[in-house]
Amino acid sequence: MKLATVLHSLGLTGSVLDFSKTIISVDTYIAKETPVAKSRLLANIGPDGDKSHGALAGIVIASPSTKNPDYLYTWTRDSALVFKLLIEDFVSGDDPSLRGLIDAYISVEATIQQTPNPSGPAGKGGLGEPKFNIDGSAFTDPWGRPQRDGPALRATAMMQYAEWLLKTGNSSYVKRSLWPIIQLDLDYVATSWRQPTFDLWEEINSESFFTAVVQHRSLREGSSLAVKLQQHAESLKYNAQADGVLCFMQSFWNPDRAYMRANTGGGRSGLDSNTVLASIHTFDPSAGCDTATFQPCSDRALSNLKKYVDSFRRVYALNKGVRTPDPVATGRYPEDVYFGGNPWYLATLAVAEQLYDALLTWHTLRAITVTPISQHFFTQFAPGISPGTYRADSNSTSSTYSHLSAAIRAHADGFLAVVARHTPPDGGLAEQFDKASGAPASAVDLTWSYAAALTAFRARKGGSSGAWGAKGLDVVC
């Protein structure tokens, strides 16, 4: 019997049918792309990676591309996001072979922390330096510096490993070797989060939402790790600063337009994947749909996501004729002109990931709440829906909850399908894909693109990097 007939006989009609078609092709894509992404990501890590010759052990190159653009450098941000994923793979038991590489990352980053550079002295202001040469030496040409998200992301990655080491009885190594490295980054964050920073796209020197949220997360994690290491004064200090950052984060919300502004400067709309990345990289599955920490299923984050996605409907020829709410290719921000301004793989993947994260939390809560802020997001899937809480009902597959979760999962899959459609046959993921032809553009084999694919795929299976302390926080201003 044909699938269509089976579904029809089950009383499942039109849109559900499209949903299942999407699932089939997305499943195939994920099965094929997962091993490619993992091996090409590892190929970009020194000293043995196939594409990273000359890189020190543990150094992540951003991409092997040496011209137009030249990305054969190591960025603290990209490296930390990549190792965050690898460390999670290791501590979850999925890939025990990664331990040597993780230790190499820690030791090379400890050296980089002590390398004087144009952002400032070793172990102090120099921690905000965004990128280094792949032999670990300082990069001294002009650049958008400092970028204050790097130390926070690096601390978060290393703390995940530290927590695992503590659980497995390695506390002396954590205390003596790892904590001092982490502490340098946390102290940098604690003392400098109020100061201006270049944003993650290295363009605007102001204050930036992504930077603030990853700083906030690192300080909360630092506070709780410090307690375990009997560093009570440190713990209080990090927590007090985290309260300040959490308050500051709220100021990015634009209540009139119902989205999160990415930066305080820059003179743009402020719609930016900065904020979507902020939500997925601070997802805490135990925090419910908390608004203050901008959880993926919070009303603000859902409203923001829709505004962000819709801003790309008119800017790329590729999206022409795709009407709301159907999934489209998305980029860094609609005004982007870098390489002509194209969709990015990691940006489109982040949209899917936020939605899968939201689905995971709703599933845990057994309920979806619609508020006046998120109503326009939900209306896309349930015209006329009103604010309220819609509970999962085990006796019914026709409840509003079931309808919404199926439709939103199909929606998320649609963004993966866009990425799948523009992935070349060998599975390589560049930085961007052309806004008209869909062909890969800018840096080839962008390490961060592979990491973004792998975390989105994990989220689709209901996986996450776990709780970090977002639950039950009060905004104290």
Is there a catalytic annotation at residue 431?
A: no
Nearer to ligand NOJ, 225 or 278 (CB): 278
Is there a catalytic annotation at residue 221?
A: no
With binding defined as CB under 6 A, does residue 202 bind ligand NOJ? yes
Q: 41: closest CA among 458, 423, 332, 452?
A: 452
Choose the catalytic residue: 95, 202, 203, 335.
202
* Burial letters 340-361, b for 16+ CB under 10 A, else e: ebbbbbbbbbbbbbbbbbbbbb
Q: How many residues does the chain have?
A: 477
Binder among 40, 51, 77, 154 for ligand NOJ (CB under 6 A): 77
DSSP-based helix, strand, coil % in the chain, nearest 5 = 50, 5, 40
Alpha helices in 282-367 (DSSP H): 299-310, 345-365
With binding defined as CB under 6 A, does residue 69 bind ligand NOJ? yes
Conformational region of residue 445, where left means phi above 0, alpha means psi within -120 to 50, and beta covers everything else? left
Binder among 83, 90, 201, 294 for ligand NOJ (CB under 6 A): 201
With binding defined as CB under 6 A, does residue 51 bind ligand NOJ? no
With binding defined as CB under 6 A, does residue 193 bind ligand NOJ? no
Shortest Cβ 119–ligand NOJ spacing (Å): 15
Options 16-24, 101-109, 155-163, 198-206: segment touching ligand NOJ (CB under 6 A): 198-206
* Burial letters 423-442, b for 16+ CB under 10 A, else e: beeebbbbbbbbbeebebbb
Give the separation between CA 432 and CA 68, rounded to whole angstroms.
13
Nearer to ligand NOJ, 62 or 318 (CB): 62
Binder among 7, 166, 203, 292 for ligand NOJ (CB under 6 A): 203
Helical (H) or strand (E) element with 75:
strand 74-75
DSSP letter string, 282-301: T--TTSTT-TTTT-TTSHHH
Options 12-20, 201-209, 261-269, 352-360: segment touching ligand NOJ (CB under 6 A): 201-209
With binding defined as CB under 6 A, does residue 445 bind ligand NOJ? no
Choose the catalytic residue: 185, 199, 272, 290.
199
Span 307-346, contacts to ligand NOJ by CB under 6 A: 338
With binding defined as CB under 6 A, does residue 116 bind ligand NOJ? no
Binder among 19, 29, 71, 259 for ligand NOJ (CB under 6 A): 71
Shortest Cβ 258–ligand NOJ spacing (Å): 26
Conformational region of residue 11, where left means phi above 0, alpha means psi within -120 to 50, and beta covers everything else? left
Binder among 75, 132, 377, 381 for ligand NOJ (CB under 6 A): 75
With binding defined as CB under 6 A, does residue 78 bind ligand NOJ? yes
Give the separation between CA 78 and CA 149, rounded to whole angstroms.
10
Active site residues: 199, 202
Binding site for ligand NOJ (CB under 6 A): 62, 69, 71, 75, 77-78, 200-203, 338, 448
